[in-house]
Structure 1
Amino acid sequence: MKDAMIRIRMSAGDAHYGGNLVDGAKMLQLFGDVATELLIRHDGDEGLFVGYDDVEFLAPVYAGDYIEAVGKIVKVGNSSRKMEFEARKVIKPRPDLNDSACDVLEEPIVVCKASGTCVVPKDKQRNK
């Protein structure tokens, strides 16, 4: 199964805490979008996210950061789909240089990892 990936810039509206820090829940929202794409590609249906088994927040995310969220299906049951996710910071702003300066990171910074389970009811599975 192929990975799915989205890349998005965190906006000032995503910042929830002082210092333009983004709430970790934003990474889970991105993982939810990745999971939906994976299910559509695998089953032809959006399915439902049942829950996360594990979530690790590994580095801070700030407004202006570009985050790449990737996921893959690692196990397929009758209706369940076990998935793994990773969010990486790939570009960060450089306000110390000027208001619009940014750096592309040579090595992405893993900011969050998670695993979880989604379900696609049998009667909604179209890609068999």
Structure 2
Amino acid sequence: MTPTNDVERTGSEPEPLTVGLRVRIGQEEAHYGGGLVDGARILRLFGDLVTEVTIRSDGDEGLLTEYADIRFTAPVHPGDYIEATGRVVRSTKLRRFVELTARKVIAATDEGPSSAAVLPEPVTVCTARATTVVPRKTPTAKGGR
């Protein structure tokens, strides 16, 4: 997956850290009438992305402390493929602020029990912002852990 970046840059700043994953939603994840998948499934993907962000930036899984502005914008069904991305938009000494987006890139169809179609354009199914806290770096004694 190629990260996209719509932030204007002067050339001297490092690229913001962007991570992504793609998953197929299984039949066992349908929880509601009409075969709908619950939004918590997407939030679990977002949690995995935030964890990867802090591992890559700080060498530690960190602690996800907050979601904000969660918006579910389209339904998710078994057989759909979801591509989720997380991009660090701001960092402080102990916090990382991440913008999260999940898009449906392949959708299950009604043509048969295993039929699906690649979507001409991805459909955004959820957006959110997250805050994660990373542990303070502490000096270690020589030879110690």
Please give the TM-score of this superposition, normalised by the length of structure 1.
0.92
Of 104, 120, 123, the residue aligned with 2:118 is 104
- Rounded to whole Å, the distance in 1 between the matches of 2:68 and 2:113 is 39
RMSD: 1.1
Of 127, 135, 142, the residue aligned with 1:113 is 127
CA contact (8 A) 2:61 2:134 kept: yes
> How many pairs are equivalent?
123
CA contact (8 A) 2:103 2:122 kept: yes
Of structures 1 and 2, the one scoring higher in RCO (CA 8 A, sep 6+) is 1
SS in 1 for 2:82: strand
Give the corresponding residue for 1:14. Answer: 29
Letter in 1 for 2:34: G
Q: Does 1:40 align with 2:55?
A: yes
1:3-41 deviation line (CA, Å, top 9, x unaligned): 111111111111110111000111110000011111111
More strand as a share of residues: 1
Unaligned runs of 5+ in 1: none
SS in 2 for 1:122: coil
Of 60, 63, 68, the residue aligned with 2:78 is 63
Query: Sequence identity, in percent?
Result: 49
Larger radius of gyration: 2
Q: Measure how far apart 1:101 and its partner are.
A: 1.6
SS in 1 for 2:41: helix
- Rounded to whole Å, the distance in 1 between the matches of 2:114 and 2:130 is 37
Letter in 1 for 2:95: S
SS in 2 for 1:121: coil
- Rounded to whole Å, the distance in 2 between the matches of 1:82 and 1:2 is 11
- Rounded to whole Å, the distance in 2 between the matches of 1:22 and 1:46 is 27
SS in 1 for 2:137: helix
Please give the TM-score of this superposition, normalised by the length of structure 2.
0.81
Runs of 4+ in 1 over 3 A off after TM superposition: none
CA contact (8 A) 2:68 2:128 kept: yes
Letter in 1 for 2:101: E
